[in-house]
Structure 1
Amino acid sequence: MEIDELAEAARTGRELDLTGGAQLDAAVLVELLSRERPPRAVRLRGARITGELDLGAMTIDCPLALEDCVFDGAVRFTETVAKSISMRGSRFGYLRADYLRTSGFLDLARVEVAYLLNIGSAHVGHDLYLGGARLGRTDKTALLALGIEVGGNLHARDLKAEGALVFTDALVSGHFDCSGADVRNPGDRALTADNLQVGTFMGAEGFSAQGVVFLSGARIGAELVFDDAQLSNPDGFALSADRISVAGDLSFRNGFSADGSLRLVQAHVGGRIVFDGQVRAEQHPAFVGDGIYVDGDVEFRREFTTNGEIRLFDGRVGHTLRFAGTSTVPAGGATLELSSLQADVIELLNAEPFQGKVDLIRTRVRDFVDRPESWSPAIGLLGFEYQTLRNDEVSVRQRLSWLRSDGFGYSPAGYDQLAAAYRRLGRVEAARRVQVAKQWRRRRVLNPVGKLWNWLLYVTVGYGYRTWLAGLWLVVLVALGTTLFGGAFRSDMRASAPVGPAFQPVAYALDVLVPIVDLGQKKAWYPQGGAQVWSWVFTGAGWVLTTAVVAGLTNALKRD
């Protein structure tokens, strides 16, 4: 092709369609774009460009469109300044556009690059199009976009890459949409976008990554969406997003699947986090959210399943942390690690128990909602603080069995928390039952003498919470004493003086039973033989009963 024909088309901005195998020397394009008077636009379609097209460090003052072309050599836009560039549908062995600056868009949709597409530190004034691109790999990197700035949106839907996509320190003013993309770099990073700044990040609608999706330190101005995404890194983390900040929601829904762990340590989510997919993790916990801060809800919905641990150690949830539905039960010995978590509400509403330990050590929550069907065989409740138990249908007996399942053994604070919650609900008798159960459980940490005294306090005054038992014991013992001293052992009773009050079995039984009572019978009559033995027994029983009553009334038994 002659340069004059191309120049005439460029002068008017007309597209020149060379589909069919027409060749054009790259030097012709360089010469045309180097002219002092720029053309209106250079638009080529379907040409085969021979030689290396090096437009580096040039200023291109017209729109440039080289679409559906085949380039035999490398293409360079290093430090180029241009209005807009479209290479849509073209094929390259290598394309380098680092430090490129465009006032308009950069269109690389449907391009095919055999080795490396380098647009690092480029500045694109409007949108960047990468949708449908087919990218190869050089040293496991298919696309290098370190520090790129995009003034509009970054479109990468249905992109295919054999190698990593690197967007470290990138700034995208609008949204970053890689829905439906397929990125393969097994055993390494598939998508690296640490410190990315973007409005919305969409990795949905079949987005697939073999390797780590790395978003540590990213700043997402609206939503981060992984709905229907397929992430795979079986030996480690499928998603690593430490210190990420998401102003809106973080979504893993509609068939989301991860073969590998999800890591959001010290992340901040301004909206909510929603899970209803599947996470398979062998080497690490399924979800690691240590120090995470979520302003809204965190929901593990009915469709969510995992075989690994869910960990939110030292996290903060502004509203509700919810586990609901039969499919949310972690299988294969998984646990919930919620130690030191703070939340407004925690809901454990599975229809089947968690298979591993549920750890609520030092967790603080306003409302706790659960159901016995969801309880784990082992649970850690040491230091667990809550204000209200919202499921009042759980019986006191069931709540006490819940406390007994604490893997740390006897913890008086757990019983005090439960009793306080019942008192706030106005259930005073339930609170008393809990306090009695606390003292009974305390027997396990006492020596033999302490256990005996603990048992006596239980049967006599209910540890001070059932002092009416003492009155019942007194009635029983007085009745027994009346029967013994006025019947079988009446003949063993002797008067202390020739003249004195007549013997009254009821009054005598009260005299020997109650130390502070003096009805005159004990002074006027003294026992012998069997009556003397029973007198000692009743005196000892009276002291035990009196001591227990005094201990209960002075609140001594309510200390841990």
Structure 2
Amino acid sequence: MTMEQLADAARTGRELDLTGSEPLDAAVLVELLAADRPPRAVRLRGARIVGELDLGAMTIDCPLALEQCVFTGAVRLTETEAKSIGLRGSQVGYLRADNVRTTGFLDLAEIEVARGMNLNGAHIGRDLYLTRARLRHLEKTSLLAMGIEVGGNLAARDLTAEGELAFTDTAIGGHFDFSGASVRNPGGTALTADNLQVGTSLLAERFSAAGAVFLSGARVGGNLVLDDARLSNPDAFALSADQISVAHDISFRNGFSSDGPIRLIEARVGGRVVFDGSVTTRQYPAFVGDGIHVEGDLEFRRDFTADGEIRLVDGRIGHKLRFVGTSTVPAGGAAFELSSAQADILELLPAEPFRGQVDVVRTRVNELFDEPGRWPSEPGLAGFEYQILRNEGASVRQRLSWLRSDGFGYSPAGYDQLAAAYRRRGRVEAARRVQVAKQWRRRRVLNPLGKLWNWLLYLTVGYGYRTWLAGLWLVLLVSFGTSLFGGAYRSDMRAAAPSGPAFQPIAYSLDVLIPIVDLGQKKAWYPQGPAQVWSWVFTGAGWVLTTAVVAGLTNALKRD
């Protein structure tokens, strides 16, 4: 191939297919592109280009397309300015294109690079194509693309890489499509995209990564999709996306799996976050979302499984926080920690009972939908606030066992909240049962005298919530007194005056039993011997019963 033939094709912009032709010296291309009169376009296919192609710092005023070519030396485009550059399907030992600038596209689709590629600081006016590119690493980094700017889309579907991909501080005007890509750097970093900015969506369906993935501080204008992705970094975090901001949804669905924990600390999501895959971990919580802020729902669906803790300390969920998956942890570990969080609706309906600690300490929700039988033996409920209970199928007995198992000990607020929730649903009797149970459990923290009084209040009036017990006690005592004093009438009862009223055992029993009642029997008849002792007992019992009624009613009215 002569220089004249190349120049003739370049003047018209037609493509030359050099497959099977003699090798082309790279210097001939440099001379052609550096000519005073720029060609219309340089389009070569299948050429074998020998030597180093160095177009650094050049201004190329025509499209350059070197497709399916084989380069025996490096390709250098450092600080090159061009309309568009295409190396689609070519084989390159090393590609250095840092600070390259194009007004159009940079097409590196299906390129094969043996010793790494450098695009740091590149400015691409339109799209950057890396679809089906095959990259190998140079000192563990196969692609350096830090601080690049892409005016359109970055398409990297089905890319394969041996070594790290670095996109730190990169800005993409359109979408970043990583679907089907595979990156391997076991024990190290697979993808670094901290402070990445994507105008629309970041798509990583079927993405596979052996090594850590970093998206901390990234800004995504649309959705972040990791459906059917496979992440693996078992000795540390598989995905670290602290302070990421996603305008719409984050999706970990359709078979997503991660051998290593996921971090979304202080993430901001304008839509919802959905998990229905699996996360396994050896030493860290499976999912860490401390300080996460989700405007819509945060859902761990039924197909979700986590071999480790789910942690959402200080999270803010605008609508529904829903956990219906499975979280298993070693004995004594934590399964679900929601401390100091807020949500409109909390659904805790795991596929099987939690096997570790569950903490909802200082968490505030409007509606709670749960299965008390799914809670662990000692949940953390201190300061847990809710307004409405949605599961009418749970019995009061189940709810009370849930409160009794609170690992933080007796908390009157927990009982008061449960009673208030029942009252909002119109279940007054259930609310009273809860208040009785609260006073019953309160006995554990009282001194001996307080415990005795607590017992008396329970037995006599049910702490004021079962005042009918006082009437029952009154009937029993009056019946007993009638029999007792009636039998003692002839031997142990003495009239105070001959003209006094006749002795009536029922009236006498009521007179000595009820302090505020005066039926004249107590003044008219004086008991002696055992009857006198019994009259003291009845008087004392009357005072205790009356005091219990007053104290119990005061407590009940104050609460109701």
TM-score, structure 2 as length reference: 0.97
| Structure 1 segment 398-547 matched on structure 2, within 5 A | 398-488=398-488, 490-547=490-547
Structure 2 residue identity aligned to 1:550: V
CA distance in 2, matches of 1:200, 1:22: 45
CA distance in 2, matches of 1:20, 1:330: 61
Structure 1 residue identity aligned to 2:527: P
Show the counterpart of 1:268. Answer: 268
| Contact 1:107-1:130 within 8 A present in 2 as well | yes
Secondary structure of the residue aligned to 1:11 is: helix
Deviation at residue 277 of structure 1 after TM alignment: 0.7
Show the counterpart of 1:238. Answer: 238
CA distance in 1, matches of 2:490, 2:293: 79
CA distance in 1, matches of 2:301, 2:453: 50
CA distance in 2, matches of 1:526, 1:497: 10
CA distance in 1, matches of 2:39, 2:128: 24
| Contact 1:416-1:435 within 8 A present in 2 as well | yes
Deviation at residue 77 of structure 1 after TM alignment: 0.7
Show the counterpart of 2:354. Answer: 354
CA distance in 2, matches of 1:452, 1:129: 81
> What 5-or-longer segments of structure 1 have no aligned partner?
none
CA distance in 2, matches of 1:489, 1:30: 133
Instruction: Please give the per-residue CA displacement for 1:253-285, whole angstroms capped at 9, x wherever unaligned.
Output: 111000000100000111111111110011111
| Structure 1 segment 366-405 matched on structure 2, within 5 A | 366-405=366-405
Show the counterpart of 1:53. Answer: 53
Show the counterpart of 1:201. Answer: 202
CA distance in 2, matches of 1:329, 1:289: 15
Secondary structure of the residue aligned to 2:248 is: coil
Deviation at residue 373 of structure 1 after TM alignment: 4.5
Residue number among 319, 323, 328 corresponding to 1:330 in the alignment: 328
CA distance in 2, matches of 1:22, 1:232: 46
| Contact 2:172-2:197 within 8 A present in 1 as well | yes
Show the counterpart of 1:105. Answer: 105
Structure 1 residue identity aligned to 2:201: T
Show the counterpart of 1:73. Answer: 73
Secondary structure of the residue aligned to 1:478 is: helix
Deviation at residue 16 of structure 1 after TM alignment: 1.4
Q: Identity over aligned residues, as a percent?
A: 75
* RMSD (CA atoms): 1.6
Secondary structure of the residue aligned to 2:139 is: coil
Show the counterpart of 1:40. Answer: 40
Deviation at residue 553 of structure 1 after TM alignment: 2.9
| Contact 1:241-1:267 within 8 A present in 2 as well | yes
Structure 2 residue identity aligned to 1:381: L
CA distance in 2, matches of 1:490, 1:67: 127
CA distance in 2, matches of 1:354, 1:554: 40
Instruction: Please give the per-residue CA displacement for 1:426-464, whole angstroms capped at 9, x wherever unaligned.
Output: 111111111111000111111222111101100101111
1:555–1:372 CA distance, 2 compared to 1 (3 A): closer
CA distance in 2, matches of 1:351, 1:48: 61
| Contact 2:26-2:53 within 8 A present in 1 as well | yes
| Structure 1 segment 16-415 matched on structure 2, within 5 A | 16-20=16-20, 22-198=22-198, 199-205=200-206, 207-324=207-324, 328-330=326-328, 332-333=330-331, 335-415=335-415
CA distance in 1, matches of 2:351, 2:123: 53
CA distance in 2, matches of 1:313, 1:413: 21
Structure 1 residue identity aligned to 2:328: P
Deviation at residue 328 of structure 1 after TM alignment: 3.0
Instruction: Please give the per-residue CA displacement for 1:293-329, whole angstroms capped at 9, x wherever unaligned.
Output: 11111111121111111111111111111122xx534
CA distance in 1, matches of 2:329, 2:19: 58
| Contact 1:240-1:263 within 8 A present in 2 as well | yes
Structure 2 residue identity aligned to 1:267: A
Deviation at residue 398 of structure 1 after TM alignment: 1.3
| Contact 1:162-1:185 within 8 A present in 2 as well | yes
| Contact 2:309-2:329 within 8 A present in 1 as well | no
1:18–1:244 CA distance, 2 compared to 1 (3 A): same
CA distance in 2, matches of 1:351, 1:536: 62
| Contact 1:350-1:373 within 8 A present in 2 as well | no
Deviation at residue 371 of structure 1 after TM alignment: 2.3
| Contact 2:82-2:103 within 8 A present in 1 as well | yes
CA distance in 2, matches of 1:374, 1:19: 68
CA distance in 1, matches of 2:259, 2:558: 52
CA distance in 2, matches of 1:332, 1:274: 25
CA distance in 2, matches of 1:13, 1:44: 10
Deviation at residue 496 of structure 1 after TM alignment: 2.8
| Contact 2:308-2:327 within 8 A present in 1 as well | no
Secondary structure of the residue aligned to 1:554 is: helix
Deviation at residue 469 of structure 1 after TM alignment: 1.4
CA distance in 2, matches of 1:481, 1:490: 15
1:442–1:21 CA distance, 2 compared to 1 (3 A): farther
| Contact 1:352-1:373 within 8 A present in 2 as well | no
Secondary structure of the residue aligned to 1:137 is: strand
1:351–1:50 CA distance, 2 compared to 1 (3 A): closer
CA distance in 2, matches of 1:238, 1:19: 44
Deviation at residue 331 of structure 1 after TM alignment: 5.3
1:339–1:489 CA distance, 2 compared to 1 (3 A): farther
Secondary structure of the residue aligned to 2:418 is: helix
CA distance in 2, matches of 1:313, 1:60: 55
Structure 2 residue identity aligned to 1:242: D
| Contact 1:249-1:273 within 8 A present in 2 as well | yes
| Contact 1:164-1:184 within 8 A present in 2 as well | yes
Secondary structure of the residue aligned to 1:79 is: coil
The range that moved more, 17-26 or 277-286, is 17-26
Secondary structure of the residue aligned to 1:284 is: coil
> What 5-or-longer segments of structure 2 have no aligned partner?
none
Deviation at residue 554 of structure 1 after TM alignment: 2.6
Secondary structure of the residue aligned to 2:5 is: helix
| Contact 1:484-1:490 within 8 A present in 2 as well | no
Structure 2 residue identity aligned to 1:330: T
Deviation at residue 556 of structure 1 after TM alignment: 7.8
